[in-house]
Amino acid sequence: MRGPAPLACTAVVAVVACALCVVMYRFARLLGADERAAFLLLVVTAFLPSFLLHTSDTYKDGFNAFLVVASLYLGVSMARRFEVRKVLILGCLLWALWNVRSYMVFMCLVPLAVSLLGVDRGFSPRRLLAFGALLAGAAFIYYGVIGTAAVEALMDQLDTGQSDVVRQANGDGGSGVSFDDGGSAWSSLGLKLLYTVFSPFPWAQGSLALQLGKIDALISYFLSSPRCAALDSSGVPTGGF
């Protein structure tokens, strides 16, 4: 079904995708990349095949990616310089993420805590305050929603996602990987994490999205490799991402 409303909704997703590219640029600059390398990352992100696929319609993947990356960016930014407005924005992003994909909030809390702790630096009063605010927010979310319909819906989603029917459906055509875990989501956890971090593998069969994901992974590996360097105006390598 096509018309003004679906086109407008798709346009909103496209705007969010563009905002994500800008956040990626600022994130790279914050982590020390030079302007040329950060801009290259922005351009590459905008034209990644899977990124284009999942932001070309009213999928919620674009919102999910923006909220996760923006939250992590703010966490690292607060580790460098604490500001109250950043805490407020981060709280809004995590609240929105809870309503998009609730389990992603808990996945973001660990890297946020690490970034605020500053593993390469000592504690400062601002960093300690930021970490305390994040911890208080996490406690509020946990004790404020535990036992409510939101948590029940979250558990239902996890149970459904781990069901044999869903796993078999996701694995049709070779897109999925089956583990001999005895039906427990926590068994073979290390191997599952290994597959999650390094997939998709070149030999895996599956859907169009999986095949496009291979291209994305290859580009990402190239950009993160030491040999990928940004060239200044004289053509001399100055460092990569």
Strand partners, 231: 237
Most confident region among 63-67, 82-86, 110-114 by mean pLDDT: 63-67
Mean residue pLDDT of the chain comes to 75
Distances, alpha carbon 190 to alpha carbons 181, 182, 195, 204, 217, in Å = 11, 15, 9, 20, 21
Contacts of residue 66, Cβ cutoff 8 Å, sequence gap at least 6: 16, 17, 19, 20, 23
**204 or 14, which is more confident?**
14
Tokens (6 digits) for 112: 């946020």
**88 or 157, which is more confident?**
88
pTM for this entry: 0.71
Binned at pLDDT 50, 70 and 90, residue 230 comes out as: very low
- 31-68 confidence digits (pLDDT tens): 888 898 889 989 999 999 989 988 888 888 889 999 99
- Helices 102-117, 84-100: crossing angle, 10 deg rounding: 150
Binned at pLDDT 50, 70 and 90, residue 119 comes out as: very low
Q: What share of the chain is helix, strand, coil (3-state, %, to 5)?
A: 70, 0, 30
Q: How many percent of the chain have pLDDT more than 90?
A: 14
Tell me the C-alpha distance between 221 and 204, whole Å.
Answer: 17
Of 5-9, 73-77, 121-125, 152-156, the poorest mean pLDDT is in 121-125
End-to-end CA distance of the chain: give it in Å, rounded: 42
